[in-house]
Every structure is written in C-alpha cells, then in structure tokens.
Structure 1
Amino acid sequence: MRVEVDLRGRVCADVSAAAGEVLVVIGPNGAGKSTLLRAIAGLEPGRVRVGDDDWTDREVPRRRVGYVFQDQSLFPHLSALDNVAFGPRARGRSRREADAAARGWLERFGIPDLAGRKPRELSGGQAQRVAIARALATDPDVLLLDEPFTGLDVSAQMALRNELGEHLRDFAGVTLLVTHDAIDAATLADRVLVLDEGRVAQVGHPAEVAAEPRTPHVARLVGLNLVPGGDELIAFPPDAVTVSLTEPEGSSRLRWRGPVATLAPHGDAVRLLVHAAPDLLADLTPAAAAELGLVPGREVWLSAKATAVSRYGARG
C-alpha cells in the first residue's frame, strides 16, 4: 500500500509509504508536520492517494484513518469503553460487536479495568492508551499519531513507546508518527521523513538520517554540528571540538569564531553553544571551562581536525 500526499502551495510534500511501514515525521516547529497528517485525515485540503484509491474528494467519515491527536481529544462525556467503541459503531457495527472490539483493544493495552472511567478520571498515560486504542479499533488503512508521548513523564513515555511498538508490528496499514524526539525515530521508525519549511528535506532509514543529517534541526536532534560548505555538508560531534581563546594553529584544522551564548552541564561535560557561523556546540570538561574563564558573551575560537569530521553531499 502506498500513501501519496501533495499539498502544493503550503506544504510541498510528496510522501509515499509501504503497507506495514512506520514513517516517523520530524522537523522544526512550523515545518508542516501536523498539516500533513490533517490533510491525510481530510481536515486540510490536499491531494491524497492511498493505494489505488484517490482520497482527495472523499469526506472525512469515509476515509479509513485512525487519528491520535496531541491532546488525545477523547469524548469527555463517554467512558473509555465507549470512546474506543465509537469508531466501530460509526462504521456500522452493532453495539455488541463494537463493545466487544473495544474491550479487546483495552485488554491489549492492559487497561480493561478502566473501561467504565471517563477521560477526566484517567492519567495522561492511561488516556493516551485509550486514544490509541480508539484509533486502531476502526481497523484503519492509515494510522496518524501526532506527538503521542507529549506531556507524559519519562517513565510513562518509555512504557507507552514499547507498547505502541508491539502493536505497530502487527498493524498492516501505514503509520505516520509526528515527533520531536530522536528516541521515537530510533526505536519505532522503519524510515524517517524530514520536513523543513514545508518541503521534504530528507527521507531514509533512521541510522542513515542520523549519520548524515541534511538540516540543522535533524543535526541538533541527533547531537551533531552541521556546517554547509558549497555542495557538501560537514558533520561532527561536540566532543570533537577544541575550544580556545586564541586562533588555533595548523592547516589541518577547521576553525570558527564567535561569542559563547550558553553554558550548561551535559553529562560529565560542559556544553557550549557558540554563535559562530553557523551556531555550533562544543563539549569540554568543567576544569577546562573554568581555566578558560568561559562566560556568556566571551569570544572563543572553535576548531576541529579535518580527520574528525564527516563530509557528504548536500543533496542525497
């Protein structure tokens, strides 16, 4: 199965995905990620094809889509069971069949005892499980997940991420998951799609995208510096950067200069953000930071050995 989306004029994204594939969509705020999902669902205008079917003019109720919104959007007046049963009933199944399907999904997510509770009586993690179960209960061709772990504490995120991964392995349709978290891409994605300013900037396996990011947002997401240079990009980690107060010597070194913007603990190191051209990250020991007298606003030189950087074409 292929999903093709074309939102010419606002989000110029031609997207395709195979049946059973999890496509994780990342990009900076305003890149068009949520707009892409809303267009597939029929909530925004756009040309959409799923397999051989043209969904462009298909009304929202007739699109076989399961949608998990950022705020869950559970029906507040319905119980967890009735929320999950809503989709099957809307598609013509009897109340008994819909309730049975809903109970089955609540069981699969480990929350059958919450069937009678209203959304206000659920924790964030519980409510999100109900929202995902509601989306899957409709037996959709396309599952849309818009930042499903937002607002949950770290332990709840980890638990729900693992559970969702198990369910997605059995899901025969296409999944598009919007996220700002590199962990989601690394653990759930078959492929990663990078949107930047409404356009597809990069598509590939998570490891490929992480190794050769093509936008500053993705580079920051995976903890790399990214410097454009003509037709090539240069990527390197913060711990490959040397910080000094005077210009470094040696022709084998790449160098940049700028003021320190911020200093913050990062594991056992101190991480600097320096307003060079472009902004760069550097890791150094607390002792080295103290010896250099680093404070916001202080001019520093950053350098990296040519052998410590990765070079690749600006276009994949």
Structure 2
Amino acid sequence: MRVEVDIPGRVSADLEAAAGEVVVVIGPNGAGKSTLLRAIAGLEPGRVRVGDDDWTDLEVPRRRVGYVFQDQSLFPHLSALDNVAFGPRARGRHRREAEDLALGWLRRFGIAELAHRKPRELSGGQAQRVAIARALATDPDVLLLDEPFTGLDVSVQVALRIELGQHLRDFPGIALLVTHDAIDALTLADRVLVLDEGRVAQVGPPAEVAAEPRTPHVARLVGLNLVADGEDLIAFTPDAVTVSLAEPEGSSRLRWHGPIATLAPHGDAVRLLVHASPDLLADLTPAAATELALVPGREVWLSAKATAVSRYGAAATGR
C-alpha cells in the first residue's frame, strides 16, 4: 500500500508498505513526524492518498485509521471498556457486540479486570494499553502510534513494547509508529522512515538505516559519528576515535580539531562531545582522560584510521 502526504511548506512524504508491515518514523524535533500522522488521520489539512483512495476531503470518521496519542487521550468520563467500544459503536456496531469486541481486546492486553475503571483509576501503562486496544478495535487499515511509550517507566516500556510487537504481527493493515527511541526502530520496525525538515531523507530496513545513517539525528540515535565528505558520508563509532592534544601524524588518519563540549561516564568509558565541525563523539578510558587532563573547553585533536570508517553515498535511498 502506498501512503502519500503533502502539506505545502511543512511535510511532503510518500512510502510503500505491505500489509502487516510496521514503519517506524524517526527524525529530530520539528521534522514533521506527528504532523505526518495527524494529516493521515484528517486532523491536519493536506493532500493525503492511501492506496488507490484519495483521503484529502474524506471526513475524519470515515478514515479507517486507529490513532494512539502520546497522552492516551482517553475519554475521562468513560470506563476502559466503553473507551475501547467507542470506535466500533461509532462505526455502527450494536452496543452488546461492541462491548464484547472491546472486552476481547482488553483480555488480549491482560487488563480485562480493569474494564470498568475510569482512566483516572489506571496507571500510565494500563491507560496506554487501553488506548492501543481502542485503536485496534476499529479494525483500521492504518494504525498510527505517536510515541506510545513516552512518559512510562522503563520496565513498563519494555513490557508494553513486547506486547505491542506481538499484536502488530497479527495486524493486517500497516502501522506507522513515531518514536525517538532507537530500540523501537530496531525491535518493532520492518522498515524505518527518516524525516528531516519535513521530507524523507532515508527509508530502509532497520539494520540498513542503522549501518548507513544519512542524517546526524539518526547517527546520534544509533551511536555513530557522521561526517560529510563531498558526495559521500563517513560513519564510525566513538571507540574508533583517538584523542590527542597534538595533531596526529600519518596520512592514513582522518583528523578533526575542536574544543571539548562535554565529557561524562559512558559504561566503562568516558565519552567526549567535541565541537569539531561537525560535532563528534569519542570514547576513551578514564585513565587516558585523566592523563590528558581533559576538561570542557580544552582543545583536542580527534583522529580515526581510514580502515575504521564506513564510507557510502550521501543520496537518500529506499522507499
């Protein structure tokens, strides 16, 4: 299925996804991720095509979408059961049929015993399970999830991510999930779509996007340095970087120079952020950081062997 969205001056994107695929949408703040989802749902004006159908002038209730918002947006006066049953009832199901369907979805998420609680009586994780169940209960063609794990405890995020992944494997439509978390992209996505300044910068399988990022945001997300070099990009890990106070020698080394912006523990290493045009990350041992007397503001040289970097074309790829 092809999805096309065009909001002049804000978002222009199109993607192909097969039935059952999960497309994770990533990009920096202001890239247009939430706007993309809202346009598909009819909450933002713009040209929208889904498959062979033009949704541009289609009223919101007639769009076959399920939407999971960051803040759940459950109806506060309705029980969990009635929240999930709301969509099926709005689409013409009889009350008893809609409630049976809703209870089935609550059972799938392991919260059937909470069916008669109001949203204020639910924990964050419980409320988000209700919100996801409500979106799926409408049998949508497109499922939209806008940072569904935001604000939840880490343990709750892990459990909910596993549950959602299980349900998405059985979902016959396509799912678009907006996130800032690389874990979501690597564990839930069949395909990753990278938005940058409202346009598609890269589309591809998670492993491909992680190995060859084409925007600084994605590089940071997967823990890589990214440097533009003519028509190519160079990617390399922070532990492939050597830090020195004097300019390194040897023609086989790539090198950069700049002041330390920050340094902080990172696992067993000390991670530096250096303003080196572009900003670069470097990992070194605590002993080496102490020996070099590294502090914020100190000028350092960074270098990497040419054999330690990955070089690839800078053009956007995939669809």
Note if 1:201 corresponds to 2:212: no
- Report the equivalent of 2:161: 161
1:45 counterpart SS class: coil
Partner amino acid for 2:94? S
Q: How does 1:1-316 map to 2 (within 5 A)?
A: 1-315=1-315, 316=317
Displacement of 1:53 in angstroms is 1.5
Q: What's the CA shift string for 1:210-238, capped at 9, x where partnerless?
A: 00000000000000000001100000000
Q: What's the CA shift string for 1:183-212, capped at 9, x where partnerless?
A: 000000000000001110000000000000
Partner amino acid for 2:222? V
1:262 counterpart SS class: strand
Whole-Å separation in 1 of the counterparts to 2:310 and 2:57: 46
Partner amino acid for 1:135? A
| Kept in 2: contact 1:80–1:119 (CA 8 A) | yes
CA RMSD in angstroms, aligned pairs only:
0.8
Whole-Å separation in 1 of the counterparts to 2:9 and 2:264: 41
Displacement of 1:52 in angstroms is 1.8
Any unmatched runs of 5+ in structure 1? none
Q: What's the CA shift string for 1:157-200, capped at 9, x where partnerless?
A: 00000000000000000100000000000000000000001110
Whole-Å separation in 1 of the counterparts to 2:2 and 2:19: 7
Partner amino acid for 1:141? D
Displacement of 1:20 in angstroms is 1.1
Displacement of 1:17 in angstroms is 2.0
Whole-Å separation in 2 of the counterparts to 1:23 and 1:208: 14
Displacement of 1:19 in angstroms is 1.5
2:311 counterpart SS class: strand
| Kept in 2: contact 1:227–1:234 (CA 8 A) | yes
Displacement of 1:4 in angstroms is 2.3
Partner amino acid for 2:84? V
Query: Could you tell which deviates more after superposition, 15-24 or 210-219?
Result: 15-24
Partner amino acid for 2:179? T
Any unmatched runs of 5+ in structure 2? none
Whole-Å separation in 2 of the counterparts to 1:70 and 1:154: 16
TM-score, length basis structure 1? 0.99
| Kept in 2: contact 1:5–1:16 (CA 8 A) | no
Whole-Å separation in 2 of the counterparts to 1:101 and 1:310: 51
TM-score, length basis structure 2? 0.98
| Kept in 1: contact 2:85–2:134 (CA 8 A) | yes
Whole-Å separation in 2 of the counterparts to 1:116 and 1:94: 19
Query: Could you tell which deviates more after superposition, 159-168 or 6-15?
Result: 6-15
Count of residues in correspondence between the two structures? 316
Whole-Å separation in 2 of the counterparts to 1:41 and 1:181: 23
Whole-Å separation in 2 of the counterparts to 1:216 and 1:10: 20
Partner amino acid for 2:88? P
| Kept in 1: contact 2:3–2:14 (CA 8 A) | no
Whole-Å separation in 2 of the counterparts to 1:234 and 1:52: 39
| Kept in 1: contact 2:5–2:11 (CA 8 A) | no
| Kept in 2: contact 1:258–1:276 (CA 8 A) | yes
Whole-Å separation in 2 of the counterparts to 1:7 and 1:185: 25
| Kept in 1: contact 2:270–2:283 (CA 8 A) | yes
2:177 counterpart SS class: strand
